[in-house]
Structure 1
Amino acid sequence: MSDRGSSTSSSQTEGDFDGELDEEMESEEGRTETERKGSPVPSLSSFSTSIRAVIRIKQKYQAMKKRRQEMALSLAGAGAVPGAPGRTSPKIFTFDKLPPGSFPALSSVPQRKKRKRKKRVLFPNGGGCRAVPKPQRSRATYCLYLLFAIVFVQIYNAIENLDDHVLRYDLEGLEKTLRREVFGQQGAVEGLLSLLKDYLSTYVHNKPLVVSLHGPSGVGKSHLGRLLAGHFRSVVGDTLVLQYYVLHHCPQEADALQCARNLSTLISEMVQRAEEEEKIPLFIFDEAEHMHEEILDALWQLVASKRSNEYLNAIYLFLSNLGHAHITKHMLHNSSSISMAMTASSHHSNLIKELTPILRNALEKLHPLWTEADILPLGLLEKGHVMDCFLDEMTREGFYPDRTNIERLAGEIQYYPSVGGHEYSQTGCKQVVAKVNLL
């Protein structure tokens, strides 16, 4: 920009000087013309006058040229870059070549970098450049995130509540007690614990839990009922556990109708009390094979009818030897097909799967109450299980658990003929207490 300004000012100055010079020359020529016209005959004085005009013009031209050079140098010095060579006025009416080195080398002059031109984004329709649409976040996304958070919190709270409800009943402690105290019934114990865990994991149900345990005499039905009653009394209280023995509470058949009414009233009161305390009561009916028809009908109405929500939060446990003939026959006829390598748990699981439909068909013909129940069969006890019963009872009574004495006492029990390497007791552990008391 400075070079361009200086060049422009110098050209303007040269133009002014040339104009002044032309005017001066025209004025001098005008004077000479007038002098010539005034004297028709040229003389020596007119000739000397023209020479003096030429000399005066030359002197004035030289002075103006000198002044023009000084002004050009002053303008070039004011707008020049430090270190750059000085500018000189061009030669007039000459074609002289410039001396080498008067201009700087092209390599030393900093060249301006060319910007790379960005390629245009062409769109198929329209053929012009269009602005890329900006992604806009929908407000509904935040609502969706909020919904996910609410659902997660609800599920987490539900899981925590389920764990808290199960921990209240201490099912782990119950499992340890049953596995330690009940012999030879691993399949039934596992099935019962599974039903209790599923039912007690929540407080809202669509039906009460009804479980019916069936087996021959001496296999541990009443013992199992006593263990359950003792455990639930410790977690929910004595007032929410009922052990009903038919031969004790209602021995006469003539009083069956009144017994049914009293039982219905008692169950209703316990259910309402449990609803107030937000707990689940337990009703155990031992020797259910001796129940009268009226009592069965009253229990069936309580179990099957949906009178209100509180009647759905209850556990009914029936203990009986109904169907014991089917259980005994099945085990004696199929023991030979049982592999010796099969574990006790898998053996009892297969027993439950095979016997459950058989017992259900036989029990539903007796009363429709068993259509609402989950049936668990208890199998026959082997000689090893009877020896465990003697060991446990002798330990309780304070006797030294002599192995030889236990085998002698277990040998006095009556057994079925050995089938497939299995020796089943006819009376189970029912005579164990009596024999230990005789020691």
Structure 2
Amino acid sequence: MTPRKRHVLLLWMLFCSGMTEAIEPISTSIAVGMAAALTGFLASYQNIFYYFHECCRPEWISFNRTGLQADLERKMFGQHIASRIILKAVTGFMSNDNPKKPLVLSLHGWTGTGKNFVSELIANNIYKEGMDSSFVHVFTSELHFPHAKQFDTYKSQLQQWIKGNVSNCGRSMFIFDEMDKMHPGLIDSIKPYLDYYDKLDGVSYRKAIFIFLSNAGGENIVQTALDFWKAGRGREEIELKDLEALLSLSVFNNKQSGLWHTSLIDKNLVDFFVPFLPLEYGHVVQCAMAEMNARELPPNLKVAKQVAKDLVYFPKAERVFSVKGCKTIESKLNYYT
């Protein structure tokens, strides 16, 4: 920041916060002259405030397709289906200035396979502040909706939270974690906001993004991956068509999915059911190497292999898939470094 802009910002803060009273005594004429000069100067830099305070403007919200693609290729391991779907879905949605409905993604798979991580990658490549953006909102079942007896209250609060935040910024993102622990039917309370409406009570929700994260359906995904492995077929041969219909059906009929018998599925409001495959030994090694890089540690393949080796795999005899994916890599690496 140049000294001139720093000076202007300080004056702006003083002027807006009422702190000018702290420098009394000052004559009315000087105060008026100072305010006039400040107003005139700020007119030349009318957008300067937006560079220092997050706003719902392109300076703070701008999709980086190249960045997302690079992140998915370099940081997401073993998820060829999820990476392809997410890149295309987010790119298509963010490139459309007039979408017909919000983007709704439902991510499914066992713990440690990358669902939370990919949500972070999406946020990092849309919002300048990433997950710290005031326009990214994360809901977790056990924290925000812990008591079944308060179901009706939660429904009302959830509607108000969504409406209030989208009113503030149409390009808002809502992430619902632990969907498999959410009370059945709760998510249906926001169904109108995900539908093909131009506006509801004067608010347009069409540019918002909703991401649901769930372990539900993980068993079907694992079984499909296991079947391919037993048949001697590579995991890269698994396609979305091998999982999507089975996944949406199992989630719809699973009372623990958070989407049990939901009208979101009935009305086809979920744009993509995204499967996350169980991770193999090689993927866990990649996770360990990536964590070393993130910590700016010297790459050590021997340590990465040892970390991966210490995890629990299934089937027990063949040790093909990691039970917890890459979830415990960070703590395991602490032990070896």
Per the normalisation by structure 2, the TM-score is 0.71
Counterpart-to-counterpart distance in 1, 2:289 and 2:312: 18
1:251 aligns to what?
146
String of CA shifts for 1:280-334, please: whole Å, max 9, x gaps. Answer: 2211111111112352121223223626171222211111111111111111122
Instruction: Check whether the contact 1:232–1:282 (CA below 8 A) recurs between aligned residues.
Output: no
String of CA shifts for 1:175-217, please: whole Å, max 9, x gaps. Answer: 2122222111122111111011111222212222111010111
The yes-or-no answer on 1:299 pairing with 2:190 is: yes
Structure 1 290/305 Cα, relative in aligned 2: closer, same or farther at 3 Å? farther
The yes-or-no answer on 1:351 pairing with 2:239 is: yes
Counterpart-to-counterpart distance in 2, 1:395 and 1:197: 27
String of CA shifts for 1:68-121, please: whole Å, max 9, x gaps. Answer: xxxxxxxxxxxxxxxxxxxxxxxxxxxxxxxxxxxxxxxxxxxxxxxxxxxxxx
- Choose 200-209 or 229-238, whichever is displaced more: 229-238
Structure 1 302/178 Cα, relative in aligned 2: closer, same or farther at 3 Å? same
Q: What are the residue-to-residue correspondences of 1:261-340 with 2, within 5 Å? A: 261-275=156-170, 280-304=171-195, 306=197, 308=199, 310-339=204-233
Instruction: Check whether the contact 2:62–2:126 (CA below 8 A) recurs between aligned residues.
Output: no
2:325 aligns to what?
428
2:8 aligns to what?
none
Structure 1 residue 267: Cα displacement:
1.1
2:307 aligns to what?
409
2:278 aligns to what?
380
Q: Which has the higher helix share?
A: 1
1:336 maps to amino acid: K
Q: What are the residue-to-residue correspondences of 1:212-227 with 2, within 5 Å? A: 212-227=106-121
Counterpart-to-counterpart distance in 2, 1:217 and 1:300: 27
1:58 aligns to what?
none
String of CA shifts for 1:143-197, please: whole Å, max 9, x gaps. Answer: xxxxxxxxxxxxxxxxxxxxx9xx9311211221222221111221111110111
Structure 1 residue 218: Cα displacement:
1.1
Query: Number of residue pairs matched?
Result: 264
SS of the aligned residue for 1:283 comes to strand
Supply the RMSD in Å over aligned alpha carbons. 2.7
Counterpart-to-counterpart distance in 2, 1:168 and 1:327: 34
Q: What are the residue-to-residue correspondences of 1:55-74 with 2, within 5 Å? A: none
Q: What are the residue-to-residue correspondences of 1:22-33 with 2, within 5 Å? A: none
1:195 maps to amino acid: A
Counterpart-to-counterpart distance in 2, 1:332 and 1:383: 14
Instruction: Check whether the contact 2:100–2:196 (CA below 8 A) recurs between aligned residues.
Output: no
String of CA shifts for 1:322-354, please: whole Å, max 9, x gaps. Answer: 1111111111122233545xxx7x53xx33220
1:260 aligns to what?
155
Instruction: Check whether the contact 2:62–2:128 (CA below 8 A) recurs between aligned residues.
Output: no
Counterpart-to-counterpart distance in 2, 1:187 and 1:293: 28
1:142 aligns to what?
none
Q: Kindly, what percent of the aligned residue pairs are identical?
A: 27
1:101 aligns to what?
none
The yes-or-no answer on 1:239 pairing with 2:134 is: yes
Structure 1 402/170 Cα, relative in aligned 2: closer, same or farther at 3 Å? closer
Counterpart-to-counterpart distance in 1, 2:240 and 2:189: 29
Structure 1 327/339 Cα, relative in aligned 2: closer, same or farther at 3 Å? closer
Larger radius of gyration: 1
2:327 maps to amino acid: K
SS of the aligned residue for 1:195 comes to helix
**RCO greater where, 1 or 2, for CA within 8 Å and sep 6 or more?**
2
Q: What are the residue-to-residue correspondences of 1:71-110 with 2, within 5 Å? A: none
SS of the aligned residue for 1:322 comes to coil
Structure 2 unaligned segments of length 5 or more: list them: 1-57, 254-259
Counterpart-to-counterpart distance in 2, 1:364 and 1:274: 31
1:285 maps to amino acid: F
Counterpart-to-counterpart distance in 2, 1:287 and 1:427: 16
String of CA shifts for 1:226-274, please: whole Å, max 9, x gaps. Answer: 2223333317992322122222222222233222222211211222222
Structure 1 422/356 Cα, relative in aligned 2: closer, same or farther at 3 Å? farther
1:174 aligns to what?
68
Counterpart-to-counterpart distance in 2, 1:284 and 1:358: 23
SS of the aligned residue for 2:204 comes to helix
